[in-house]
Amino acid sequence: MSNLTSNNFLVTLKRLDSEGCIHINDNTVTAIGRLTEGLKLQDNNYISKSQIELIVQNKNIYLNNIGSVNPTYLKRSSEVNNDKNQLDVKDILGEHLLLNRYYPVQNNDIISFLGPEASTVSLKLEIQDTLSQPSSTDTINNSIPKTTTTTTTTTTTSNNNNNPSNKTTIKPAAKSGGFGGWSDLLLPYCQRPEDHKDDVVFYNDNVVMIRDKYPKSKYHFLTMPRRTYNKFSGLTKDDIPLLEEMYRDSKKYLESLGINEKRQQEEFKFGFHAIPSMKQLHLHSISKDFSGAGLKKKEHWISFTTDFFIPFNDFIDNLNKNSKITLDIKKYEALHHGSMSCPKCSATFSTLPSIKQHYPTCK
């Protein structure tokens, strides 16, 4: 906590990725989120209208996490780890903030609102004495309301829990902000799966399987090797047994959910994105309903319903034939930015809502 003695006390929140900022005076309670003027977040639907509440009272500052769309993380200014080979989720993003809990914050702490595919927004908190007030357009003044601390009870499950309805709200995915990159955030699950029991559904010495953080379907899992692989680079024929183990373990887990082989063949896809968004090699196991809450962009639809999604057997054939994964990246980039079409009837659509409305009824 800060103990500055000046009678003029000002808190500034600055975006790390843009010029957006706001100023907050002492003895105020301020809701901060998508609609906060000055932060330029209006178009970011991955952030709640009110994501956090910042309480500044008698030069003490507390953060209350109230957002329900995506999680919030707090990176303490004293928690900097420059050894990228030893990064864990906490090292990269800081502490995951539970809902309706009050956290003390101080100068130079970084607050991150997490969204998929590099949509993370990070805010740096700066505390200063000031003799002048900021302009009315940059200052948020609120009379301080009475606040009560709400305690929530959470139940965690073991890594052997087979109930897909037990979904965690902790969905780390961060943009590079001086303390790590969002595309590295699958690695902690491979390094220490036992620390992530809410996310990990299965692991052994070679493989770890997690729920996708932004599921594009009712069932959506990622299966990864425990060993670090940078996307497809370095894969050789010698890795085929490991890839096949990932595939087998994915299918076995679905079987444990009561999804038999026939249903898996008819209702699921197993494969890799031609251009992965995350660095660690990962196999998607996804049901074909494409009704998940995380399917919010045209690119999401294309990445699972076109040749951009490489079926597991085709991936293995490519590796067998070429002794490495050989892909026409320009072709897949063009495909990823192409038009949306229904994988059942091939009809094209210009908007995501229209194709999502059409798809479930298409025969």
C-alpha separations of 47 from 89, 100, 121 in Å = 20, 16, 9
Residue type (1 letter), 228? T
Annotate 105-148 with DSSP letters as a single string: --TT-EEEE--STT--EEEEEEEEE-SSPPPTTTEE--PPPP--
Inter-residue contact 317 to 327 (CB < 8 Å)? no
What is the rounded CA–CA span in Å between residue 116 and residue 136?
34
282 a catalytic residue = yes
Answer yes or no: are the C-beta atoms of 123 and 41 closer than 8 Å.
Answer: no
Pairing mode, strands 121-129 and 200-203: unpaired
Which of 152, 160, 166, 190 shows the shortest CA–CA distance to 279?
A: 190
In sequence order, which ranges of 268-361 are alpha helices (DSSP H)?
A: 298-305, 312-322, 329-336, 352-358
Go through the chain and tell me how many residues it has.
363
Catalytic residue among 196, 282, 284, 300: 282
Which amino acids are annotated catalytic?
282
